[in-house]
């Protein structure tokens, strides 16, 4: 039942404020400025002993993991990174007893992720799951974890689950941070930020008509460039994947800082750029990248906290805490992908060649 929406993708994009609310419900502990994650199965002593975090997933879940790794490194100061589960398994990785492994999956059935979990378990590693489908294979085979509570996601293209995964990583980063060196004041600040998210998501979605118009402006592109830096880079990667999957427009994502090392050669009016420009410590650097693109007559659509003069268009999103901004900045670009695909008459819920869960290698 699509409840008045023309596609599940549209419905699921609009369910995000409620979905995030569900991910937060019952988990916040104001007394200690932390969160409770019931199924984590990792006591304080274990959490303190973690020396590294390695996050494994595929596609959108891998991108959520990249944001998650940054959140954990920033808030808990544990060296963290994300890697595609399939690649990890085939490069005979060093499996380290002091590393906490986290498998991320909407379906909980993705073969490459499940196989990585089984290989890690066989070698004695501690593996947690960050999973949407309750009781799925990955949820069952991990030592504990976090359910992301996005609710059923039907569209092949993941939207609300991505958002809830990133929120769940925010909760985990806060939890690990407060067991280690994150102060009460910072804990409070992050909790306040988390609580603001549902209303801010509704605010972004209320801007839908403007994003639909913008999709019309850029739908003629043969190829699009997505750029961001540090916190914004995985947002750019996910937005680029979303556009490819539903519209079949070619898109590339680069760190803005890498443009001058090659991809700047591609910039011309027929190759528009979508730039993630948060109001954080990299704002001036991001603005300089916009200038470089403008100087090569590139068209620019910015997603930012304030109107960007160098951009042809800016989608202004509400500001949250710097660490949590990535949760919000991708949401208008889900709508951009949706409206671009719609204008092109694509089969939005079932893009060609793709399956909702990839249970084969
Ligand atoms: O169910 P999973 O999260 O493990 O699925 C992983 C990917 O196959 C999935 O995210 C895929 O990239 C989607 N089509 C993204 O929209």
pLDDT tens-place string over residues 182-209:
999 999 999 999 999 999 999 999 999 9
**pLDDT at position 55 over 90:** yes
List the structure tokens of 138: 């990955």
* CB of residue 240 inside a 6 A radius of ligand 1: no
101-116 per-position pLDDT tens digit: 999 999 999 999 999 9
- The ipTM (two decimal places) reads 0.98
Please indicate whether residue 356 is annotated as part of the active site. yes
- The per-residue pLDDT of the chain, averaged, comes to 96
Q: Is 106 a pocket residue for ligand 1 (Cβ < 6 Å)?
A: yes
Nearest CA to ligand 1 atom 16: 157
Average pLDDT over residues 282-293: 96
Closest atom, ligand 1, to C-alpha of 60: 10
Please report the pLDDT score of residue 28 as a whole number: 98
Q: Which pLDDT does position 361 carry in this prediction? A: 85
Selected catalytic residue, list 121, 196, 350, 356: 356
CB of residue 28 inside a 6 A radius of ligand 1: no
Beta-carbon contacts of 114 under 8 Å, excluding residues fewer than 6 positions away, are 103, 137, 138, 141
Q: Give the HSE-up count for residue 247: Cα atoms under 13 Å, Cβ half-sphere.
A: 30
Q: What does the pLDDT average to over 140-168?
A: 97
Residue that has been written with the tokens 């490069």 in this structure: 91
Nearest to 312 by CA among 293, 329, 326: 293
Yes or no: say if 303 and 176 are a contact pair by the CB < 8 Å rule: no
In this structure, the number of other CB atoms found within 10 A of the CB of residue 81 comes to 14
Q: What is the pLDDT of residue 65?
A: 98
Residue 69 has pLDDT above 90, yes or no: yes
Owner of token pair 């914004």: 232
Asked if pLDDT for residue 331 goes beyond 90, the answer is yes
Which SS3 state, helix, strand or coil, does residue 124 take?
coil
Position 243 scores a pLDDT of 97
pLDDT at position 1 over 90: no
For ligand 1, mutation pick of 8, 88, 110, 239 (most atoms within 8 Å of CB): 110
- Residue 103 in 3-state DSSP? strand
Q: Is 86 in the pocket of ligand 1 (CB under 6 A)?
A: no
43 Cα: distance to centroid of ligand 1 (angstroms): 30
pLDDT in tens, 229-254: 999 999 999 999 999 999 999 999 99
Q: Which residue has the tokens 């070619």?
A: 250
Q: Mean pLDDT across the stretch 334-348?
A: 96
| Cα(354) to centroid(ligand 1), Å | 10
Q: How far does residue 57's CA lie from ligand 1's centre (Å)?
A: 8
CA–CA distance from 282 to each of 31, 170, 240 (Å)?
Answer: 33, 21, 21
Cα 177 from Cα 182, distance rounded (Å): 5
Residue 30 or 355, more confident: 30
**Is residue 132 within 6 Å of ligand 1 at its C-beta?**
no
105 lines ligand 1 (CB under 6 A): yes
pLDDT on residue 225: 98
Least confident of 77-81, 201-205, 274-278, 355-359: 355-359
How does residue 360 score in pLDDT terms, banded at 50, 70 and 90?
confident
């Amino acid at each position: 039942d699509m409840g008045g929406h023309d596609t599940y993708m549209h419905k699921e994009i609009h369910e995000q404020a409620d979905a995030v609310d569900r991910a937060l419900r019952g988990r916040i502990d104001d007394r200690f400025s932390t969160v409770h994650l019931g199924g984590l199965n990792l006591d304080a002593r274990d959490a303190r002993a973690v020396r590294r975090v390695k996050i494994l997933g595929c596609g959108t879940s891998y991108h959520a993991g990249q944001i998650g790794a940054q959140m954990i490194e920033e808030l808990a100061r544990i060296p963290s990174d994300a890697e595609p589960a399939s690649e990890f398994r085939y490069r005979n990785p060093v499996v380290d007893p002091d590393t906490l492994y986290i498998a991320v999956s909407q379906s909980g059935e993705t073969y490459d992720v499940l196989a990585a979990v089984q290989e890690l378990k066989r070698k004695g590693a501690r593996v947690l799951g960050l999973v949407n489908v309750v009781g799925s294979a990955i949820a069952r085979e991990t030592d504990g974890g976090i359910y992301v509570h996005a609710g059923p996601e039907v569209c092949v293209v993941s939207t609300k689950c991505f958002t809830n995964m990133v929120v769940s990583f925010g909760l985990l980063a806060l939890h690990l941070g407060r067991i280690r060196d994150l102060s009460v004041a910072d804990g409070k600040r992050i909790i306040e930020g988390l609580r603001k998210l549902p209303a801010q998501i509704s605010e972004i979605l209320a801007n839908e008509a403007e994003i639909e118009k913008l999709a019309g402006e850029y739908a003629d592109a043969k190829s699009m460039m997505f750029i961001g830096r540090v916190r914004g880079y995985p947002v750019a990667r996910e937005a680029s994947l979303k556009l490819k999957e539903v519209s079949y427009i070619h898109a590339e994502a680069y760190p803005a800082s890498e443009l001058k090392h090659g991809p700047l050669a591609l910039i011309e009016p027929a190759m528009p750029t979508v730039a993630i420009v948060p109001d954080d410590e990299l704002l001036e650097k991001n603005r300089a990248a916009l200038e470089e693109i403008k100087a090569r007559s590139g068209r620019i659509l910015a997603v930012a906290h304030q109107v960007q003069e160098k951009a042809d268009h800016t989608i202004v999103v509400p500001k949250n805490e710097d660490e949590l901004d990535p949760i919000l900045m991708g949401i208008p670009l889900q709508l951009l992908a949706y409206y671009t695909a719609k204008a092109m008459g694509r089969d939005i819920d079932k893009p060609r060649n793709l399956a909702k869960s990839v249970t084969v290698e």
